[in-house]
């Protein structure tokens, strides 16, 4: 991770095909295309790889989440349960529809704690959104059971976890809907892009229409298409999709490299008794894009993180103090900072997160260090890095 580290001839060829046709838009201009439909090709490949009936590509992972929620009819006042540890896009997509993000605690998986989800359910709850942060998953069996018992939608935010599996099934394919990001720093990238997957035909039909101004995409005359409902513009371009076509074909190779590098680092850190690794739910296999571990205390985690920086080990994150990924620095959500007026349903229903008690999340996140696994490292470079990490962590202890 990320896929841009290994850009090469395959990506250039796919992009050149689009440039040669001169058609950069995914819809229309049929006669000029020379048979090239890169967004469609990406969608077909993704659906096959993720073992789902349908896939729809959009402009970003944030767009994928927004379109997925909208496709299932989520809107004003509906509550969506999500974790305290994620990227800000998770709650942005919810708020964009006038729905209400309900944050709950994580556990040692660094993802949604099922017991916390159950406690947060109200009559307004419509969706449970586990976020498979840093390449690994929530306890999906438990969450699925909760959703089935309460007639809730299970939406997997798998934007950071493409290629991971749970009981043999690809992450994203287990819920009612699953979403991926293909932005510049993801395991496979389109530069900018995202996608949703589902086995529900109605959701798929809603998604491809909603993401293109409500066009029904019936017939071969775009100007004559009907608009069955309001929509917006979340289209992916053919240029971005072309990069994604090449990268998707290389996904398994990327995963193998990540697993090799991850394994070398993990085996080295396993020598340190005080280091405890994040829990991966039984039956799950992460995509090895990050190595996550806990130090004995928050203070020692901060010291170890600083030692790693001073040792020259880049790409290790202390998310507890991160502006983008942990609730503690989401002042724009807590203080409801918005350029325009927030919908009445949001203003009246959004919890007061300035008074929220997420101490359980804090005790996990304050002890956590998360290290990016790069694709471009040689095996020898990884071994050197492993030694540097061991030395830095021992120095902190």
Q: Which residues are catalytic?
A: 186
**Beta-strand relationship, 194-198 and 177-181:** antiparallel
The tokens of 352 are what? 């007061």
CA distances to 74, 120, 121, 124, 338 from 78, rounded to whole Å, are: 6, 13, 11, 5, 19
Do 94 and 77 contact (CB within 8 A), yes or no? Answer: no
Q: What are phi and psi of 126, to 5 degrees?
A: -125, -25
Residue whose token pair is 């019936």 = 218
Secondary structure (3-state) at 106? strand
Of 273, 308, 317, 301, the C-alpha closest to 366 is 301
Handedness of CA 360, 362, 363, 368 (dihedral sign): positive
| The token pair that represents 153 in the structure block | 């939608």
Decide: helix, strand or coil at residue 38.
helix
Q: Which residues pair with 55 in a beta bridge?
A: 197
- Cα separation of 72 and 75, whole Å? 9
Other beta carbons within 10 angstroms of residue 54's beta carbon come to: 20
| DSSP-H helix ranges across 102-182 | 114-120, 140-150
């Amino acid at each position: 991770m990320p896929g841009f580290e290994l850009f090469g001839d395959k990506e250039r060829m796919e992009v050149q095909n689009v440039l040669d046709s001169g058609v950069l838009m995914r819809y229309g201009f049929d006669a000029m295309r020379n048979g090239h439909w890169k967004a469609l090709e990406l969608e077909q490949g993704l659906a096959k790889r993720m073992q789902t009936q349908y896939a729809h590509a959009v402009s970003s992972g944030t767009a994928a989440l927004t379109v997925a929620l909208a496709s299932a009819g989520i809107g004003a006042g509906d509550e969506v349960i999500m974790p305290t540890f994620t990227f800000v896009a998770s709650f942005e997509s919810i708020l964009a529809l006038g729905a209400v993000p309900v944050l709950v605690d994580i556990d040692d998986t660094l993802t949604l704690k099922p017991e916390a989800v159950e406690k947060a359910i109200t009559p307004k709850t419509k969706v449970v959104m586990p976020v498979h942060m840093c390449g690994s998953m929530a306890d999906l069996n438990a969450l699925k059971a909760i959703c089935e018992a309460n007639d809730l939608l299970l939406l997997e935010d798998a934007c950071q976890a493409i290629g991971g599996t749970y009981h043999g099934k690809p992450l994203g394919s287990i819920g009612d809907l699953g979403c991926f990001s293909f932005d510049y720093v993801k395991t496979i990238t389109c530069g900018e892009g995202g996608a949703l997957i589902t086995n529900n035909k109605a959701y798929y039909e809603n998604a491809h229409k909603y993401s293109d101004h409500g066009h029904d995409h019936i017939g071969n005359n775009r100007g004559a298409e009907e608009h069955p409902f309001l929509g917006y513009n979340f289209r992916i371009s053919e240029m971005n999709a072309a990069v994604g076509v090449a990268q998707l074909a290389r996904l398994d190779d990327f995963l193998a490299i990540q697993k090799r590098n991850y394994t070398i680092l993990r085996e080295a850190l396993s020598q340190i008794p005080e280091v405890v690794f994040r829990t991966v739910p039984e039956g799950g296999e992460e995509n090895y894009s990050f190595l996550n571990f806990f130090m004995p205390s928050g203070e020692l985690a901060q010291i170890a993180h600083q030692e790693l920086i001073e040792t020259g080990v880049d790409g290790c994150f202390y998310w507890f103090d991160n502006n983008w990924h942990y609730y503690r620095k989401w002042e724009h959500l807590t203080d409801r900072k918005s350029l325009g007026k927030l919908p009445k349903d949001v203003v009246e229903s959004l919890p007061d997160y300035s008074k929220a008690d997420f101490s359980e999340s804090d005790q996990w996140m304050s002890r956590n260090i998360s290290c990016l696994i790069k694709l471009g490292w040689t095996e020898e470079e990884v071994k050197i890095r492993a030694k540097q990490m061991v030395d830095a962590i021992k120095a902190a202890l």
